[in-house]
Amino acid sequence: MVNIKNHLEYNPTTGLFIWIKKHKPNCVIGSKAGVVNTQGYITISFKGNQYLAHRLAYWYMNGMLPTHQIDHKNRIRTDNKWNNLRAVTNQINSQNSGLKSNNKTGYSGVHFRKDRKKYQVQIMYKNKRICIGHFKDLSDAVKARKDAEIRYGYPVL
């Protein structure tokens, strides 16, 4: 993998990888490396191998591959600026996920229970779902969720 540094340059400020040496005939020196894959991450092909750009960035900056997951703090999978990346456990990475596609309230961990006619607030902690409570007003439910995020150490966004 060390050979890849002879061909690619990583800019931690922009998060971009640039080809500095040809590795195949159609490679253009000075061009951006990588394409966006089906999961929305930038992948870079080099000598028959596929590399996730955010993991390569970690390797460039630390001299070793990460043992944990690499989280994009701002949740933008193509933003590989060094100040946007961090090595985290699966639990922390899950805490920084966006809204589920079926969420109707616009707030993570808050959904309306028709049977109770109240908003239910839940949070995941150590792989367990914790019910925070039921609230008549959405604003109270959102506040309870925010308070729970602080209490359980969720990342502050």
Q: Give residue 38's pLDDT band: very low, low, confident or very high (50, 70, 90).
A: very high
Is the pTM higher than 0.75?
no
Residue type, 59: W
Residue with tokens 């990460």: 66
Token pair belonging to 28 = 């253009």
Q: Summarize pLDDT for 108-154 with one digit per residue, the tens.
A: 889 999 999 999 999 988 878 999 999 999 999 999 999 998 898 87
Domains of the chain: 2-91 (3.90.75.20), 98-151 (3.30.730.10)
Q: Is the pLDDT of residue 7 over 80?
A: yes
| Mean of all residue pLDDT scores within the chain | 89
* pLDDT tier, 2 (very low <50, low <70, confident <90, very high otherwise): low
Q: What percent of the chain has pLDDT over 90?
A: 59
8 A C-beta contact, residue 116 and residue 104: no
Q: Span 31-50, mean pLDDT? A: 94
Phi and psi for 122 in degrees, rounded to 5? -135, 160
User: Strand pairing of 110-113 and 118-125?
Assistant: antiparallel
How long, in residues, is the chain?
157
